[in-house]
Structure 1
Amino acid sequence: MIASDGVRNTLNFLLFQAGWLVCVLYPTLMAFGVAVALICLHLVLVSRERFSELQFIGLGTVAGAALDTLWLQTGVLHTDTGDLVVAPPWLVALWALFMTTLCHSLKWIGQKPWLPFVLAPIAGPFAYWSAGQLGAVTFTDLPLSLAALALGWGLLFPLLLKIRGFLYPELSHA
């Protein structure tokens, strides 16, 4: 594990960005494998509380994948995955990658109680819109989809931070 908080946070940010790019540019099972490898690298080099963080990543990944599944089933999002009734593996992997940032490079967002409610409804939909610009997802009705994404992120992101603080307080200080 790397000792410097700054280096660990920078590496966490870079691993997430690399994983996001691979998943969005190559939305296949291979991207899922790359994401798993990057998460393992994160746990070895960045995480100080591996077991707790892995539990938190799992919990948030399930919640995020459930939200993406809802969006796919209601037409907010579309992917080229055919008739899947759940979010495709590459989209689930994005949630797992994202969850690694909540204890490291994005931990600062939780330091102000109001900040997640302001940033999440903007940053979350922007990430999906960006993925759409790269061809990973499409939107039937862009304004309606962005509004639904903003609502979902505005609720889920602060909830994930509350869960982190309540169930995994050691991660708030990791």
Structure 2
Amino acid sequence: MIQSGGIRNLINFLLFQGAWLLCVLFPGVAAAAVALVLVLVHLMLVSQAPASEFRFIVAGTVLGSLVDGIWFRTGIMTDAVGSLWTPVWLVGIWAMFMTTLAHSLSWMQRHWLLPLLLAPIAGPFAYWSASQLGAVHFPDLSLALIALAVGWLTVFPLLLFIRQRFYPELAS
């Protein structure tokens, strides 16, 4: 396990960015499997409380995947194979994203207003970026961006609250 908090955060950030890019460029089961391997690498190298963080990752991945599932189910977001629920590669991204909440994005916890301001912009931007790389499609871009903004305005602060309330040992 790496002792330096700065190095842990840098590794966490790089692992997430790598998993996101891999899953978006090559959406499928193989990319999701690699993302989950990167989660395990994170838990071994970066996490200070791996068992607890694993539980947090699972809880947040389920929640995030349910929200994305709504977008797929309602047709707000689609993919090349016509998924009716959250594709497995997007579940892999959620799992890796959850690692950032106790590490490279943990600083947001200390500034209660920032998640409310940044989440409705950064969340939709990530999905829009994925659409530009062909991983997802928005039949109605305006509707999708509004729905994603509302979803991220809700889910991101909720995930931060869950981490703080139920997993305080993950505080950086």
Q: TM-score, normalised by structure 2?
A: 0.98
Is 1:145 the counterpart of 2:144? The answer is yes
Question: Percent identity among equivalent residues?
Answer: 56
Counterparts in 2 of 1:14-163, with a 5 A limit? 14-82=14-82, 84-163=83-162
What's the CA shift for 1:75? 1.2
Deviation string 1:65-110 (CA, Å, 9 cap, x unpaired) is 000110001111001233x432111011110010000000000111
What's the CA shift for 1:172? 1.9
Give the counterpart letter for 1:39 in structure 2: V
What's the CA shift for 1:57? 0.3
Matched residue of 1:79: which SS?
coil
Give the counterpart letter for 1:104 in structure 2: H
- Cα distance in 1 between the residues matched to 2:112 and 2:29: 37
- Cα distance in 2 between the residues matched to 1:76 and 1:172: 35
The answer to whether the 8 A contact 1:81-1:88 is kept is no
Deviation string 1:109-158 (CA, Å, 9 cap, x unpaired) is 11111111001000000000000000000001111100000000000000
- Cα distance in 2 between the residues matched to 1:86 and 1:144: 18
Unaligned runs of 5+ in 2: none
Q: TM-score, normalised by structure 1?
A: 0.97
- Cα distance in 1 between the residues matched to 2:115 and 2:22: 26
Unaligned runs of 5+ in 1: none
The answer for the alignment partner of 2:13 in structure 1 is 13
- Cα distance in 1 between the residues matched to 2:162 and 2:112: 14
Deviates more, 1:12-21 or 1:107-116: 107-116
Matched residue of 2:47: which SS?
coil
Matched residue of 1:137: which SS?
coil
Aligned residues: 172
- Cα distance in 1 between the residues matched to 2:67 and 2:142: 18
